[in-house]
Amino acid sequence: MILLNGSPREKGCTYTALSEVAAQLEKNGIETEIVHVNKGPVLGCTACGACYKLGKCAYSDEDGVNECVEKIKAADGLVLGSPVHYASAAGAFVAFLDRVFYSKGNAFEGKLGAAVVSCRRGGATAAFDQLNKYFTISSMPIVASKYWNMVHGNKPEEVRQDLEGMQTMRVLGDNMAWLLKCIEAGRAAGIELPEREKNVRTNFIR
Ligand SMILES: Cc1cc2nc3c(=O)[nH]c(=O)nc-3n(C[C@H](O)[C@H](O)[C@H](O)COP(=O)(O)O)c2cc1C
């Protein structure tokens, strides 16, 4: 399982929440890797369309978008973690994810997805909804917990005091592990991803 930390703070609140999910996955025998992806300036998608031909983003050398796509391709699932910035996911993380998801083709189909957000006080559900939209446009089943996946705090120690938030993270880890095992069992029984129709793209009605 790949867990992307989209906070500019490498070991902050988002990391604390993601670490709780990762620890629970590991307890269930699932390998995890937390990858810090918001390390500096990130270019937004320039809509150049080069990824259609190249099969990858043309602008990845500096910020590792393509490297991240390869990591996700090799994994069974993806957790997106972000702090809430102005009731949205962190801006540079959104820039990064736009390029990851636009350039990946259909490579993430069937991989599990979950979003986790951290905020001091408000805007968590808006950011949570925003991140989940990357999964629902990519045929990625979303894994739920017992509450929306959010923690509250400005510092890691405050997040650790959010006992319900931390439990929500652990339940998410358990649910992800359970669904991964169900999918693996299904695959062993011969259940594959559905065959896809040829893509239809209509720019509204035409
Ligand atoms: C630019 C910026 C905007 C923020 N906007 C919000 C916000 O809209 N709502 C909120 O509750 N907290 C907001 N915060 C606080 C962070 O969401 C909160 O401290 C979060 O837990 C930090 O996670 P991190 O340590 O992983 O970066 C903002 C912080 C920054 C730096």
Residue 95: predicted pLDDT: 97
| 179-187: Cβ within 8 A, 24+ apart | 179/112, 179/141, 179/143, 180/1, 180/30, 180/76, 180/77, 180/112, 183/76, 183/110, 183/112
C-alpha of residue 153 to centroid of ligand 1, in Å: 9
Helix (H, G, I), strand (E, B) or coil at 156: helix
**Over residues 17-33, mean pLDDT:** 98
- Taking alpha carbons only, the member of 8, 32, 12, 29 closest to residue 21 is 32
Which CATH number fits the domain 2-188, given the four candidates 3.40.50.360, 3.30.930.10, 3.30.70.2860, 3.90.550.10? 3.40.50.360
Position in ligand 1 atom list of the atom nearest CA 152: 21
Per-domain boundaries in the chain: 2-188
Residue 21 in this model has a pLDDT that exceeds 80: yes
**Is the Cβ atom of 5 under 6 angstroms away from ligand 1?**
no
Ligand 1 pocket test, pick from 79, 85, 128, 152 with the greatest ligand atom count within 8 Å of Cβ, gives 85
Residues 6+ apart with CB under 8 A from 93: 4, 6, 7, 37, 38, 42, 80, 82
pLDDT digit string, tens, across residues 30-79: 999 999 998 999 999 999 999 999 999 999 878 999 999 999 999 999 99
Q: What are phi and psi of 144, to 5 degrees?
A: -105, 165
Q: Is the pLDDT of residue 125 over 90?
A: yes
pLDDT for 43: 94
Dihedral sign (CA 10, 81, 69, 192): positive
Please report the pLDDT score of residue 84 as a whole number. 98
Partnered with residue 142 across adjacent β-strands are: 113
Region 99-105 average pLDDT: 94
C-alpha closest to that of 40 among 100, 97, 102, 92: 92
Phi, psi of 176 (to 5 degrees): -65, -45
pLDDT at 105: 86
Q: Could you read off the pLDDT of 129-165 as tens digits, one per residue?
A: 999 999 999 999 999 999 999 999 999 999 999 999 9
What pLDDT is recorded for position 115? 98
Q: What is the pLDDT of residue 181?
A: 97
**Residue 206 scores a pLDDT above 80:** no
Nearest residue (by CA) to ligand 1, atom 3, is 85
pLDDT of residue 32: 98
The per-residue pLDDT for 61 is: 77
pLDDT at 204: 81
